[in-house]
């Protein structure tokens, strides 16, 4: 008995000693992290205090103790609003569309670019393709609306000229087109930019692997399939997990700028809903309730995605 307990104690004590010992040994490193820990605490954790607003009937400029507490009233209001579910549908639909398109297309593009032999041409294409990233959504929305206009819009003119349609279609006025329009403009704007990270990952692949494959008689397709894609798999899964975490936080600029009253049932997204029903009405508490919901769902999505990936591909970000 005694021997066993002794045996058990020993490693534990050694481990503890090891931790403190290492901490003292690495004290300068720990000191160096302190500013960042403070930074994260002040800007990411302290503001969570503001969540208390969601359970109050919040009035500005009153002290915390003078606020009226209302419990879960704002959450009940939120879940009882029909519009909320419509908005969730739009948010998730557009998120998934842009998630799917936003992953496949840049990866394909990166792989194709990588196969280009002419370096000058490759650089040129790459630069051109990521330039739209720097164009503001306001401008992009203007261009898209003009192009899709029935009043001399390029797309309608082209379709009519090709006899695909008889008369111009009011693309911006039909709810069924809206999600596609948003997704395609998003792709146009962000494709090149999102390609950069995959290109960087591809560059990191050891050229010897390609040489070995070539010696084994692998053609271009085989090389892409067996070397390039597996080589960037880690990057893909990390990015995918992170985007899934942001599924319902898609912002609202695109939808706000491209939307109009006729497609309001397809264009209103969660962030816009929060803005219209929260801040715009000075219902700070209600807005906070929405954003708590938002954050909680995001965290759940992130963990679920991470868990799945961990099991399936043995890769994870946590």
Partner 1 sequence: MKGKVLKGTSLLLASVMLVGSLAACSSKEEEKKPADETGKTNTAENTTETPTTDKSPITYTMLAADPSPDWNQMQDEVGKKITEKTGVTLKMDFATDANKVALVAASGEYPDIISAKGSSNLFVDAGAVLDLTDLIDQYGPNLKKVYGDYWNRLKWSNDDQGVYVVPTYDGVGNTYFDAGGAFSLQHQAVEEAGYPQIKTVKDYEKVIADYVAKHPTTADGKKTLGLSLLADDWRIMISVTNPAFQATGASDDGEIYIDPKTYQATFHYRRPEEKEYFRWLNHMNDIGLIDPESFVQKEDQYKAKIAQGRVVGVIDQKWGFQSSIDSLKKEGKNAATYGFYSVQMDDKTVDHTFEPTGFMGGYGLMISKDAKNPERIIQMLDYLASEEGQVLINWGIEGKHYNVENGKRVIPQAVQDQKTNDASNFKKTTGIGLYNNYGPHYGDGVQDSTGNYFTTNFPEQIQKTYSEEDKKVLAAYGKTTWKDFYPSEKEFAAKPWGAAWNLPVPSDSDANIIYNKLTPIVRKRIPEIILSKPSEFDAKWDAFLAELDKNGVKKYEEEYTKYIQERVNLWSGR
Among 101, 264, 301, 317, binds partner 1 (CB under 8 A): 264
The residue range among 29-37, 104-112, 214-222, 242-250 that interacts with partner 1, by the rule CB under 8 A, is: 242-250
Structure tokens at 203: 């560059």
Contact between 55 and partner 1 by CB under 8 A: the answer reads no
Contact between 59 and partner 1 by CB under 8 A: the answer reads yes
In the block, residue with structure tokens 């816009």: 272
The residue range among 118-126, 206-214, 260-268, 306-314 that interacts with partner 1, by the rule CB under 8 A, is: 260-268
Among 182, 284, 302, 305, binds partner 1 (CB under 8 A): 284
Among 10, 17, 27, 83, binds partner 1 (CB under 8 A): 83
CB of 298 to partner 1, least distance (A): 8
Total site size for partner 1, rule CB under 8 A: 59
Among 62, 89, 220, 233, binds partner 1 (CB under 8 A): 62
Contact between 283 and partner 1 by CB under 8 A: the answer reads yes
Q: Please give the Cα distance from 305 to 95 (Å, whole number).
A: 15
- Find the angle CA(167)-CA(171)-CA(175) to the nearest 5 degrees: 130
Q: With CA atoms as reference, report the closest residue to 80 among 277, 280, 239.
A: 277
Among 268, 302, 306, 309, binds partner 1 (CB under 8 A): 268
3-state class (DSSP) for residue 232:
coil
CB atoms within 10 A of CB 277: 19
Contact between 294 and partner 1 by CB under 8 A: the answer reads yes
Q: With contact defined as beta carbons under 8 Å apart, do 86 and 101 qualify? A: no
Structure tokens at 295: 């954050």
Q: With CA atoms as reference, report the closest residue to 269 among 126, 88, 144.
A: 88
Structure tokens at 241: 């997990």
Please give the helix or strand (H or E) that residue 69 lies within, else none. Answer: strand 68-69
**Binding-site ranges for partner 1 (CB under 8 A):** 43, 46-51, 53-54, 57, 59-62, 81, 83, 142, 145-146, 149-151, 170, 172-173, 242-243, 246, 248-253, 260-262, 264-265, 268, 271, 274-284, 287-288, 290-292, 294-295
């Amino acid at each position: 008995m005694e021997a066993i307990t002794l045996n058990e104690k020993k490693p534990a004590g050694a481990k503890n000693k090891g931790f403190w010992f290492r901490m003292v040994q690495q004290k300068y490193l720990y000191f160096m992290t302190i500013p960042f820990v403070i930074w994260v605490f002040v800007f990411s954790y302290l503001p969570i205090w503001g969540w208390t607003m969601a359970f109050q009937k919040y009035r500005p400029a009153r002290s915390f103790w003078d606020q009226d507490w209302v419990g879960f009233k704002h959450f009940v209001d939120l879940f009882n609003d029909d519009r909320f579910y419509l908005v969730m549908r739009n948010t998730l639909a557009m998120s998934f569309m842009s998630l799917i398109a936003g992953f496949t297309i840049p990866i394909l593009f990166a792989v194709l670019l990588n196969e280009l032999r002419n370096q000058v041409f490759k650089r040129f294409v790459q630069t051109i393709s990521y330039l739209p990233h720097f164009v503001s959504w306001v401008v992009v929305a203007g261009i898209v609306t003009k192009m899709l206009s029935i009043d001399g819009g390029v797309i309608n003119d082209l379709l009519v000229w090709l006899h695909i349609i008889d008369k111009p279609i009011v693309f911006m006025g039909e709810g069924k087109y809206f999600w596609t329009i948003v997704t395609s403009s998003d792709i146009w704007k962000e494709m090149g930019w999102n390609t950069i990270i995959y290109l960087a990952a591809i560059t990191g692949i050891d050229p010897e692997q390609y040489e070995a494959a070539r010696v084994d008689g692998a053609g271009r397709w085989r090389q892409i399939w067996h070397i390039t894609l597996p080589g960037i798999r880690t990057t893909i899964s990390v990015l995918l997990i992170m985007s899934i975490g942001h599924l319902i936080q898609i912002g609202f600029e695109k939808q706000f700028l491209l939307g109009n009253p006729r497609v309001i049932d397809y264009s209103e997204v969660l962030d816009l809903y929060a803005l219209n029903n929260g801040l715009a009405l000075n219902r700070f508490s209600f807005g906070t309730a929405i954003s708590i919901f938002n954050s909680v769902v995001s965290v759940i999505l992130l963990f679920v995605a991470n868990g799945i990936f961990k099991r399936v591909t043995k890769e994870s970000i946590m």
